[in-house]
Structure 1
């Protein structure tokens, strides 16, 4: 590694006053020159001795400053060599000039990751979910007094401590798992930024406990719900619930459905082509997550009842679920109603009543794979019986 100084005119090459610039070389490759902010007369510079010529006090101060710069850069270089860190000339220059940090704290890594999330995701729901988990991680860091913990000292013990801290807060196991995934994302982000050489949490694993709830309405329960006469205001909520049962729409997507997303399909019937709101605003899932569903006659009847897609009732998720609970209570309905149960009812009908393949059901739900289908429904004896019958299997 070498530190060299050279002069450069501020404007015209014949200018009397010039600035001294510093150039760092590592393995023969030099970084961009940066100014020392020392200004001298051109004839005062001796490039061979790398010094300012003269006997004045200013000259002595200039040379002292140049020597200090050289020593500071040498010290930075040796510090990185001591911890076996590879260092380019440009990175060394950036560290010296303050464009890059020598080291980061755990708290600063969290801040950088949060900036990455804000720059990467436009969807408010996704940002809110990340924000909640990052906020809990910050609470852990604050309570454990780890704000100034150097990034290099992050280890598996930190992740273990975080899990114990969350358990002490009586958090659900799967809730903790989602948070540890964010903790790992933070260190992964630090590696991508070349702040950390290796990911200290790469080998940390905390598996989710499988407790999938596929509660849904049966066809008999669906028919019972349709037969009940509700008060006009409550009927709107029931209609929205039934609309999702026959389309598989998530409540938010049902609220944002437009006339343009209902159009003739390949069989001449009206189909729904609805981009998933969760992914439609994302930069990573452009035109991938689209629900493709041929519309059931009962779904079309609900649209016609309200005079068009745009006139379907608009309700918030919280109010929707609270009103559904009230409907169950007032009418002594023996089965639960929630916005998610509507989507799961659609999935069950497709899988077990109509014997639709999982790949097709995934497309109808707006998923790019069948992995998440199992969170909404699972095959049972009805599907087995249907497939045995269709294939004429005599068992």
Structure 2
């Protein structure tokens, strides 16, 4: 809470022997001073108990009114600035008193990013967001900082100064000049996702009355939708029936198949414990958890293949459901599995999630709404992407149509 004290600066006097009245403002252990513009002699200051007693002289009444108005003004400015910026400083308050107004949006974009990322980190620590998402926002902030430094020669940039030219010059910088791990340039889809981060950070500021507009809405580029890589029924069976002579390939194959029949992403598989296996009132076994990426519930009935895999690793010890293998190693060994099974596709752990959506569920007539719910999608549009690539479903529907025409 802010506090204001008034004192007499006795080392200074005017020709009438009066000393100036100063205000000392205290906030979070720090102080600053400023002149009230009023003067009074020390004797009257002491006699009136710093103008707290009943006053009779008009000049003293005027002084009292002035310092009361100033005190109220300091408090009002503090509460207004705190609403805009919870970290408002004494310098901000002093600037406002001196007529240097900071409008909504004048906040530095990197300062806003810092506030957002600190908030997001708390959500991650509470288990509501994934580590990968936190790293994505941190990387987005670093890229923006690098652009501002290299192209504008600054260490900060006011949001109110971000215009369309800034936005599209930033896009060009990210695509063709930005470097990371000795690689120059970022792919189109990655750039679009970073701009989604920029927009989200600004929405965070708008919701908290820190800013009023989102300058990154000017950017309207879309993701290049690529065909999802998934396994056909035959390819899935080849992996399922293949006999591997090394434990590591068997373990990775089991983790991959587990994801093919549950839709779980790598991070979600790693986080599963025996507590996530739930039996309902009808005796059906379910896997119940929340997606690490979005914290959305993803409840999936346990299919026979999944049950066999869970039983196979029931003696792991501890609460873990499956062996823990890093996603990097899983993807490395999946390449080997793909070669041994003569599958001419780039296998990654995420191919399993796509296979669940297409071959396992939609291809077998499961409703798209149910598939979307099991996958933890925030919008059914995300699931519709998988439905578009199922030629088998198109053939079934067209066969029905052919019969009608026949």
Fold match, TM over 0.5? yes
TM-score scaled to structure 2, two decimals?
A: 0.69
SS of match in other structure, 2:173: helix
SS at match of 1:230: coil
Q: CA deviation at 1:344?
A: 1.0
Corresponding residue for residue 310 of structure 2:
303
Change (3 A) 1:127 1:42: farther
DSSP-derived class of the 2:286 partner: strand
The question of whether the paired residues in 2 share the 8 Å contact of 1:352 and 1:379 is answered with: no
- Per-residue CA deviation, residues 4-35 of structure 1 (Å, 9 max, x unaligned), is 9989xxxxxxxxxxx97699xxxxxxxxxx98
What pairs up with 1:133-144 in 2 under 5 angstroms?
Answer: 133-144=140-151
Does 1:179 pair with 2:179?
no
- Cα distance, 1:227 vs structure 2: 2.2
1:136-175 C-alpha deviation (Å, 9 max, x unpaired): 1111111121324444322222112211211223321222
Equivalent position of 1:160 in the other structure: 168
| CA–CA distance in structure 1, aligned partners of residues 170 and 283 of structure 2 | 56
**Distance of aligned partners of 1:324 and 1:42 in 2 relative to their CA distance in 1, 3 Å threshold:** farther
After TM superposition, list the pairs within 5 Å mapping 1:378-393 onto structure 2. 378=388, 380-386=390-396
2:361 pairs with 1:345: no
Q: Equivalents in 1 of 2:225, 2:270: separation in Å? A: 29
Q: Of 218, 222, 243, which aligns to 2:232?
A: 218
Contact 1:154/1:200, CA 8 A, preserved across alignment: no
| Matched residue SS, 2:366 | coil
Look up the SS of the partner of 2:59 in the other structure. coil
Distance (Å, rounded) in 2 between the aligned partners of 1:121 and 1:52? 55
The aligned residue for residue 275 of structure 1 is 290
- TM-superposed deviation, 1:199: 1.9
Deviation at 1:320, TM superposition (A): 0.8
Is 1:118–2:121 an aligned residue pair?
yes
Match of 1:98 among 91, 106, 109: 91
Which secondary structure does the structure 2 equivalent of 1:291 belong to? Answer: strand
Secondary structure of 1:210's match? coil
State how far apart, in whole Å, the 2-side matches of 1:92 and 1:348 are: 53
Q: Hey, what's the Cα distance between the residues in 2 that align with 1:252 and 1:92?
A: 43
CA pair 384-317 structure 1, distance change in 2 beyond 3 A: same
| Aligned pairs for 1:13-52 within 5 A | 41-43=46-48, 45=50, 48-50=58-60
Over residues 230-261 of structure 1, what are the superposed CA-to-partner deviations in whole Å (9 max), with x where a residue is unaligned? 12221111111111112221122122222222
Alpha-carbon distance, 1:218 to partner: 1.0
Helix, strand or coil at the partner of 2:294: helix
Q: Are 1:248 and 1:346, in contact at CA under 8 Å, matched by a contact in 2? A: yes
Q: 1:29 — aligned with what?
A: none
Change (3 A) 1:42 1:117: farther
Deviates more, 1:258-267 or 1:339-348: 258-267
1:326 counterpart = 2:319: no
Q: In the alignment, is the contact (CA less than 8 A) between 1:159 and 1:180 conserved in 2?
A: no
Is residue 236–residue 313 contact of structure 1 (8 Å, CA) maintained in 2? yes
Contact 1:216 1:348 in 2 (8 A): yes
Instruction: Report the Cα offset of residue 43 of structure 1.
Output: 2.3
Deviations 1:19-63 (A, max 9, x none): 97699xxxxxxxxxx98799952427566425899xxxxxxxxx9
8 A contact 2:298–2:374 mirrored in 1: yes
CA contact (8 A) 1:45 1:51 kept: no
Matching residue of 1:358: 368
Report SS of the residue matched to 1:247: coil
Q: 1:42 to 1:137 in 2, by over 3 A?
A: farther
- Secondary structure of residue in 2 paired with 1:133: helix
- Unaligned 5+ segments in structure 2 are 8-20, 26-31, 37-41, 83-87, 96-100, 178-184
Does the CA contact (< 8 Å) of 1:44 and 1:52 recur in 2?
A: no
Q: 1:345 to 1:191 in 2, by over 3 A?
A: closer
Aligned residues: 337
- Match for 2:272 among 257, 271, 279? 257
